[in-house]
Amino acid sequence: MTTAPGITYRLARPEDAPAIEALDSSFTTATVFEAAATDTGFALREVPVDPPVRKVFPSEEHDEQEIGEDADTDRRTFVAVDGDELCGFAAVGYSAWNRRLTVEDIEIAPAHRGHGIGRALMEHADAFARERGAGHLWLEVSSVNAPAVHAYRRMGFVFCGLDTTLYDGTPAAGEQALFMSRTVG
């Protein structure tokens, strides 16, 4: 992994909202995870797919209240920028009742993937988690997003749960939600 030179990391500002909305979060993968619930837990198996799966996420409206100085004190959106270009972002929220920092969304522009930007954004999330007293970072990822699963595992996340019905009734029906966590560094 190389670290991208010249990238600046900071809290998102209201003027970042259009670039966050426009970020291409699509991916293509030649493998997916098959998840199966068992009587004692769940089993995961990475399997090849032919042809490769191309996933384009529907546009989301990111809550602009998370962006800027008036943001909720337990929510942050961190951005990575190269000059005037937004390279990626991570939106996180802290829950005091279980001391969990949830990574609600993390997206890296395709041209900037593999350069350490996701890891750096996750480290900003980790620093915020420490500031809040969180014990762990937690996230949800689709079973077809093998590239993200591999990236999260390289960042120290481990599988901690499965929901086989979370996406029922959505365009992602048939996929399973994989939950991953890591201890706050």
For 61-118, the pLDDT digits (tens) are 544 445 655 557 899 999 999 999 999 999 999 999 999 999 999 999 999 999 999 9
Token code pair at residue 118 = 């996701």
138-181 pLDDT per residue, tens: 999 999 999 999 999 999 999 999 999 999 999 999 999 999 99
CA gap 11, 33 in Å, rounded? 33
pLDDT tens digits for range 29-49: 999 999 877 888 888 999 999
Nearest to 106 by CA among 96, 30, 130, 93: 93
Please give the share of the chain, as a percent, with pLDDT higher than 70.
92
Distance CA 21, CA 39 (A): 41
